[in-house]
Structure 1
Amino acid sequence: METVKGISNFDKSHQTIITIGTFDGVHIGHRKILERLINSAKESSLKSTVLTFFPHPRMVLQKDANIKLLNTLEEKSRILSQMGLDYLIVHPFTKEFSRLSATDFVRDILVNGLKAKKVVIGYDHRFGRNRNANINDLRAFGAALDFEVEEIPAQEIDDVSVSSTKIRKCLLAGDVATANKYLGYDFMITGTVQKGKELGRQLGFPTANLVVEETYKLIPKSGSYVVRSTIDGQQVHGMMNIGRNPTVAEEEADGKPKNIEVHFFDFEGDLYGQKLQIDILDRIRDEHKFDSVEQLRVQLQKDKETALKLIA
Structure 2
Amino acid sequence: MQVYRSIDQLPDFKNSVITIGTFDGVHQGHQKIISALKKEAAKMQGESVIITFHPHPRRIVNPQYHLQLINTLDEKIDLLRQAGIDHLVVVPFTEDFSEQSADEYIENFLIKNFHPASIIIGYDHHFGKDRIGNYKLLEEKAEHFKYNLVEIPQHLLNEIAVSSTKIREAILASDIVTANQLLGYSFSFEGTVVQGDQLGRTIGYPTANLQYTDEDKIRLGHGVFAVYAEVAGIRKKGMMSIGTRPTLNKSEEKVEVNIFDFDDTIYGQKMRVTVEHFLRGQEKYLSLDVMKDQLHKDKERSLQLL
Q: State the TM-score, normalized to the length of structure 2.
A: 0.88
SS at 2:302 equivalent: helix
CA distance in 2, matches of 1:230, 1:45: 40
SS at 1:8 equivalent: coil
Shift of 1:215: 0.9
Flag structure 1 segments of 5+ consecutive residues without an equivalent: 253-257
Equivalent residues of 2:53, 2:90 under 8 A apart: yes
More deviation, 241-250/208-217? 241-250
CA distance in 2, matches of 1:39, 1:228: 35
1:1-312 equivalences under 5 Å are 1-12=1-12, 15-158=15-158, 162-230=162-230, 235-248=235-248, 251-252=251-252, 258-311=253-306
Question: What do you get for the CA RMSD once the two structures are aligned?
Answer: 2.5
Deviations 1:177-236 (A, max 9, x none): 111122111111123334433322222112233332211111111111111245677653
Shift of 1:274: 4.0
Q: Cα–Cα, structure 1 residues 207 and 200, in superposed 2: closer, same or farther, change >3 Å?
A: same
Equivalent residues of 1:32, 1:157 under 8 A apart: no
Deviations 1:41-74 (A, max 9, x none): 3443433222111222222323334222111111
CA distance in 2, matches of 1:213, 1:134: 36
Percent sequence identity is 39
Equivalent residues of 1:29, 1:162 under 8 A apart: no
Partner of 1:255 in structure 2? none
CA distance in 2, matches of 1:193, 1:116: 45
Q: State the TM-score, normalized to the length of structure 1.
A: 0.87
Shift of 1:304: 1.6
Equivalent residues of 2:245, 2:251 under 8 A apart: no
Equivalent residues of 1:33, 1:122 under 8 A apart: no
CA distance in 2, matches of 1:9, 1:292: 62
Q: Cα–Cα, structure 1 residues 174 and 250, in superposed 2: closer, same or farther, change >3 Å?
A: closer
Equivalent residues of 1:224, 1:239 under 8 A apart: yes
CA distance in 2, matches of 1:148, 1:111: 12
More deviation, 268-277/24-33? 268-277
Equivalent residues of 2:13, 2:47 under 8 A apart: no
Give the residue type in structure 2 aligned to 1:191. G
Q: Cα–Cα, structure 1 residues 234 and 63, in superposed 2: closer, same or farther, change >3 Å?
A: closer
CA distance in 2, matches of 1:23, 1:299: 40
Flag structure 2 segments of 5+ consecutive residues without an equivalent: none
CA distance in 2, matches of 1:181, 1:121: 26
Equivalent residues of 1:15, 1:117 under 8 A apart: yes
Deviations 1:94-117 (A, max 9, x none): 333223222111111111023322
Shift of 1:90: 1.9
More deviation, 234-243/144-153? 234-243
SS at 1:281 equivalent: strand
